C-alpha cells in the first residue's frame, strides 16, 4: 500500500532556520539546559552505549555548524501508518541526498545537507510528497 501523500499529516514543511548535527562526548549540564529551555526550537539529544548525538536549530546561517536544513512531516501520525521514513528516504537515496532523521511521538524531522535542499525538494516532489506554500515557492525558483 502506498502512502496517502495528500493526507494533511504527511504534508512537508522546510523549517526556516539551518540546523547542526554533532557527536559529543557526554550529556553535559549545558546540553540539558538547552534541551529544557522554553523556546520553539527543535533540539534533540540521543544517547546510546556507543555515542551521544545532538541536533538542533542554529541561531543563523552564519553559524559555522549551520550545515543542514530540516523537513518536518506535519503529523501527528498514527502508528498504524507504516513506511513513512522509507517513502522519504527512497527518493533521497535515488537523488544522492544524504539524510539524518529524528523521530518523535508525533512526527519525523529529516535533515539534509543545506546545499542539497533543492535536489531533495525535486526528488520528494517527483515521488508524490506535497509541500507547504514556502517549499512550493522554492520549487518554482
Q: What are the phi and psi torsion angles at 81 (to 5°)?
A: -80, 110
pLDDT digit string (tens) for 55-102? Answer: 999 888 898 989 999 999 988 888 778 888 999 999 999 999 999 999
Separation between Cα atoms, residue 13 and residue 85, nearest integer Å: 15
Report the pLDDT value the prediction gives residue 1, as an integer from 0 to 100.
46
Of 71, 73, 65, nearest to 10 by C-alpha is 73
| Confidence (pTM) | 0.85
Report the pLDDT value the prediction gives residue 137, as an integer from 0 to 100: 53
- Taking domain 8-140, whether its CATH number is 3.30.2130.10 is answered by yes
pLDDT at position 3 over 80: no
Query: What are the structural domain ranges in the chain?
Result: 8-140
Cα atoms found within 13 Å of the Cα of residue 113, Cβ hemisphere only: 8
Please tell me the predicted confidence (pLDDT) of residue 92: 98
Give every CB contact of residue 107 below 8 A, 6+ residues apart in sequence.
9, 72, 73, 74, 75, 76, 77
CB-CB neighbours of 32 under 10 Å: 11
Query: What are 118-128's pLDDT values in tens digits?
Result: 999 999 999 99
pLDDT digit string, tens, across residues 5-38 = 777 888 999 999 999 999 988 777 777 777 777 6
Reported as a single tens digit per residue, the pLDDT across 45-55 is 888 999 889 99
Amino acid at each position: 500500500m502506498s502512502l496517502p501523500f495528500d493526507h494533511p499529516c504527511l504534508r512537508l514543511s522546510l523549517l526556516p532556520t539551518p540546523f547542526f548535527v554533532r557527536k559529543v562526548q557526554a550529556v553535559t549540564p549545558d546540553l540539558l539546559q538547552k534541551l529544557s529551555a522554553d523556546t520553539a526550537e527543535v533540539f534533540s539529544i540521543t544517547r546510546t552505549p556507543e555515542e551521544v548525538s545532538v541536533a538542533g536549530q542554529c541561531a543563523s546561517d552564519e553559524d559555522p555548524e549551520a550545515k543542514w536544513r530540516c523537513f518536518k512531516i506535519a503529523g501527528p501520525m498514527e502508528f498504524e501508518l507504516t513506511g513513512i521514513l522509507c517513502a522519504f528516504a527512497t527518493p533521497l537515496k535515488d537523488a544522492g541526498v544524504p539524510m539524518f532523521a529524528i523521530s518523535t511521538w508525533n512526527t519525523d524531522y529529516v535533515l539534509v545537507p543545506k546545499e542539497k535542499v533543492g535536489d531533495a525538494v525535486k526528488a520528494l516532489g517527483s515521488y508524490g510528497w506535497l509541500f507547504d506554500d514556502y517549499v512550493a515557492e522554492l520549487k518554482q525558483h
